[in-house]
Amino acid sequence: MSNPATKKQEKIYVKAVNGKFRTIRWLFLWTLLGIYFLLPWIKVDGRQALLFDIPARKFYVFGIIIWPQDIYILAFILILLAIGLFFFTAIAGRLWCGYGCPQTVFTDLFLWIERIFEGDRQNQIKLDKSKWTLEKAAKKTWKHLAWITASFLTAFTFVSYFVPPGILIERTVSAALTNANIFWLALFTITTYWDCGGFREQMCIYVCPYGRFQGAMFDPQTLVIAYDKSRGEPRDIFRRGVERKAGNCVDCSMCVQACPTGIDIRNGLQIECIACAQCIDTCNSVMKKIGFSQGLIRYGAMASFEGQKIKVMRPRVIAYAVILFFMASGIVYDFAGRKTMAIDIIRSRTSLYNIMPDGRVSNVYTIKAMNMDTKEHTYKIIADGLNNAEIVMAGNPIFVKSGEVYTADVYLITDKKTLDTKIIRFNFILQDIDNPMLMAKKQSTFFTAMN
Ligand code: SF4
Ligand code: SF4
């Protein structure tokens, strides 16, 4: 038996459609593409609104700075989004696939470009079957050039979420792109071109795990796109002026021609269906033309197609909603109590302590004061729990810009007489000058000789 994943895939020529759902999908498509391409240029508090600064190990998310110690929050948000998708799928089926998934949006964009140069389905089939002429070569060349340009812009924008776009343009113009920049730009350009230009629906059918496990999330109450068999069958072609004994389906195959995954919705619910509603729009236009009521293919729960009542609140939907509520509350609570400052201490490795000419003892530390807030702050460093300790460093209080780490060597000096053990535990405290209630502390040790 041949493996569908490895057998050579026939090209699917998708017929352009017009209709209510296609209009909504165009709106989604241009809005989502607009957000994707413009977001790297938008600033919040003077910084790129969404920037994943991997070398600095900081993520800037709409005015919030995510530090390495906050990464667990991102992990929770990803889990929350996954459960949100389960919840959404249980109610609305594959709406995400048809309207919001980047694979659908970018493939749609590439199909749109293809139609500009090669025309609609019939023209594309004719062109592919025709002999190579100058005109055919020109059409194909322009189409591929447009696809490559779109792929490069997509890749450039994607990399701009990691390297600010201004810097990326500067480096491109002055031929100073780093090897990493070139690698990621090339990789995303090639994969976008290959995926949206050629692989297309096979990504949804053979690669995407969401399509595979959605079966477990569907039940008869889930919103799907389906063909109304009871109304459509038996099928027969339409003959104007002849009394019709068959059902409403006129077997025109327009729904199959408009389907980007090449399936026939009349064969029932299929894993390949990405719920794009192209078949609804095209069938509705056929029904309108021949004077039948619309909705032979339509949105609905399988239960409603079988004449049963739809129940939105089902045990699995309630369970997902409860989990979502508690997880979202936990994340908000945790985020609200998140510290906006932190201090880290590293003891000098060269000597445990030094006895100074005046007999006092000194220990050396490197302090790292982190300002995780979106505003700049002035902090004071205090040694708490060490009698008569004097802090010697280049400037105290210190001024730390938003999102920055202030690193300095600190000499802690105290009178030996005040010490009663060889090792004293104490706390370094970082205190905000303007709001002394704001502070962060870190325990450390002070060593001395006891003879
Ligand atoms: S578009 Fe409608 S009428 Fe035509 S084949 Fe499909 S279901 Fe039947
Ligand atoms: S069957 Fe209809 S909704 Fe499903 S992928 Fe094909 S055209 Fe889109």
DSSP letters spanning 289-339:
HHTPPS-SEEEEEHHHHTTPPP-S--HHHHHHHHHHHHHHHHHHHHHHT--
Is residue 287 in contact with ligand 2, taking CB distance under 6 Å? no
The preferred substitution site among 261, 266, 282 for testing ligand 2, maximizing ligand atoms within 8 Å of CB, is 261
pLDDT band at 56 (very low <50, low <70, confident <90, very high): confident
Domain boundary among 303, 338, 373: 338
346 and 331 co-located in one domain: no
Q: Which atom of ligand 2 is nearest to the CA of 255?
A: 7
- The pLDDT, as a whole number, for residue 33 is 98
pTM of the model: 0.83
Regarding beta strands 390-392 and 361-371, do their DSSP bridges make them parallel or antiparallel, or are they unpaired?
A: unpaired
168 and 274 co-located in one domain: yes
Q: Which atom of ligand 2 is nearest to the CA of 280?
A: 2
Give me ligand 2 centre to Cα 113, in Å: 21
Q: What are phi and psi for residue 267, nearest 5 degrees? A: -85, 5
Residue pair 282/19 in contact (Cβ under 8 Å)? The answer is yes
Mean pLDDT for all residues in the chain = 91
414 and 429 co-located in one domain: yes
Q: What pLDDT, in 10s, does the model give residues 170-222?
A: 999 999 999 999 999 999 999 999 999 999 989 998 898 887 777 777 888 88
Q: List the residue whose alpha carbon is closest to atom 7 of ligand 1.
A: 249
Residue whose structure tokens are 């989604």: 28
- The pLDDT, as a whole number, for residue 418 is 66
Residues 6+ apart with CB under 8 A from 433: 377, 378, 379, 380, 397
Q: List the residue whose alpha carbon is closest to atom 3 of ligand 2.
A: 275
From the list 146, 157, 166, the residue with the least C-alpha distance to 185 is 157
275 and 401 co-located in one domain: no
233 and 278 co-located in one domain: yes
Give me ligand 1 centre to Cα 301, in Å: 20
- The pLDDT, as a whole number, for residue 450 is 61
216 and 334 co-located in one domain: yes
Residue 398 sits in a domain whose CATH number is 2.60.40.10
In angstroms, rounded to a whole number, what is the distance separating the alpha carbons of residues 193 and 152? 8
Give me ligand 1 centre to Cα 257, in Å: 10
pLDDT at 4 over 80: no
Residue whose structure tokens are 């004071």: 380
66 and 106 co-located in one domain: yes
294 and 401 co-located in one domain: no
Q: Helices 134-160 and 102-118: crossing angle, nearest 10°?
A: 150
Domain boundary among 338, 366, 396: 338
348 and 273 co-located in one domain: no
From the list 122, 108, 118, the residue with the least C-alpha distance to 140 is 118
Closest ligand to Cα 12: 2
175 and 135 co-located in one domain: yes
Domain boundary among 304, 338, 372: 338
Residues comprising the chain, all counted: 451
The preferred substitution site among 200, 225, 228 for testing ligand 2, maximizing ligand atoms within 8 Å of CB, is 225
Other Cβ atoms closer than 10 A to 381? 22
260 and 348 co-located in one domain: no
Residues 6+ apart with CB under 8 A from 138: none
Give me ligand 2 centre to Cα 277, in Å: 6
pLDDT band at 75 (very low <50, low <70, confident <90, very high): confident
Is residue 226 in contact with ligand 2, taking CB distance under 6 Å? no
Residue pair 280/18 in contact (Cβ under 8 Å)? The answer is no
Burial track 232-248 (b if 16+ CB lie within 10 A, e otherwise):
beeeeebeeeeeeeebb
From the list 358, 357, 329, 345, the residue with the least C-alpha distance to 406 is 345
Indicate if the alpha-carbon torsion angle 201, 205, 207, 213 is positive or negative. Answer: positive
pLDDT at 254 over 80: yes
**Domain range for 142:** 1-338
- The pLDDT, as a whole number, for residue 8 is 59
How many structural domains does the chain have? 2
196 and 109 co-located in one domain: yes
For 377-409, give the DSSP string: EEEEEEEETSTT-EEESS-SSEEE-TT-EEEEE
- The pLDDT, as a whole number, for residue 2 is 43
Give me ligand 1 centre to Cα 220, in Å: 23
Mean pLDDT is highest, among 65-74, 127-136, 331-340, 342-351, for: 127-136
Mean pLDDT is highest, among 90-94, 117-121, 270-274, 370-374, for: 117-121
If one compares 106 and 269, the residue with the highest pLDDT of the two is 106
